[in-house]
Chains A and B, each alone.
Chain A
Amino acid sequence: MYAAFLVLVGLAATLVLETLVFLPLFCKKDGCFIGAFYCVNAATNVSLNFLLSLAMYVLSALGCDLRYEAPAAFLFGCCTVLLEVLIVWIEYAVLRRFHPYPNLLGYVAGANLLSAVAGSALVAVCLSLF
């Protein structure tokens, strides 16, 4: 229940933050593009969070605590970055089919970077608090 709540909160926060970045493109009022943006973001964000939660669950089941195991935390971070890059490319490939705006890849990368930094800060705060 706690994990599901975190996933939904993370999804909402991601959508809000990425909407801020995509506002210049949303001003063109292309309904299909806006709908596709939210759909592909929901799909990629939930998939990524699900994979990360699963990895953390497996690590904790193996007795590895990421807060105290530096190599495991480093590996976890590297995998997260690689998955984020993959997600940026997937989102760009999907959104380009709806409208190939100039600098679309930059918008997608910037939005995901902002979302990832905010998510990392949120996780750091949660880990320090609990």
Chain B
Amino acid sequence: MTESLLDVAVWPIITLGVGFVILAVAVVAAAVILLVVLLKKKQKRDEAARRAAQDPPGGTAEEGAFAAVFAPPAAGEERGAGETPRGARSENGVPSAQNADNAPGHSPAQNAGDAPVQNADGAPAGPPAEGGER
């Protein structure tokens, strides 16, 4: 009588209880493991983003240093004392003569001292008069 009651009532309850516990523990363990994996993935992503922000563009640090030294200055970048960027206008509204292609500082012939460089209209190259138009 006792054995039959155990067989009928107790063992299914124990089996279901153990199954329920196993199910709950499995769900919680899977969730925690996935959480740890996600956390490590995020840490790696943050580390990569931080490294990319620290390194200069152009790949390695050596390439970045080479580009920083030998690359031509970008538009609007500071060139030197008394100069304005190419295409920019000076204070009086006249385009910068030093940066024009026929300007003395940019002409190889004039820099060599052979002959003065002429503009297209035949006038000698050089900066225009203050506030005047040619």
Give residues in A with beta carbon < 8 Å to B: 1, 3-4, 7, 11, 32, 35-36, 38-40, 42-43, 46-47, 49-50, 53, 94, 97-98
Additional 20 contacts, C-beta under 8 A, given A42-B28, A43-B32, A49-B24: A3-B20, A4-B19, A4-B20, A7-B20, A7-B23, A7-B24, A11-B27, A32-B38, A32-B45, A38-B31, A39-B32, A39-B35, A42-B30, A43-B27, A43-B31, A46-B28, A47-B24, A47-B28, A50-B24, A98-B38
Q: Does B16 contact A (CB under 8 A)?
A: yes
> Could you tell me the dominant secondary structure of chain B's interface residues?
helix
Q: List B residues 2-41 near A (Cβ within 8 Å).
A: 16, 19-21, 23-24, 27-28, 30-32, 34-35, 38-39, 41
Bound-complex Cα distance A35 to B28 (A): 14
**Contact between B34 and A35, CB atoms less than 8 A apart:** yes
**Chain B residues with CB below 8 A from A49, complex form:** 24
Q: Is the CB of B35 within 8 A of A43?
A: yes
Is B42 in the interface zone, CB < 8 Å from A? Answer: yes
The answer to whether B28 touches A94 (Cβ under 8 A) is: no
A43 engages B28 (CB within 8 Å)? yes
Contact of A40 among B16, B27, B31 (CB under 8 A): B31
User: A4's closest neighbor in chain B, by CB?
Assistant: B20
- A40 CB, min distance to chain B CBs, angstroms: 6
- Inter-chain contacts of B42 with A (CB < 8 A): 32, 98
Contacts of B30 in A (CB 8 A): 42
A42→B31 contact, CB < 8 A:
yes
Q: Which residues of A contact B45 (CB under 8 A)?
A: 32
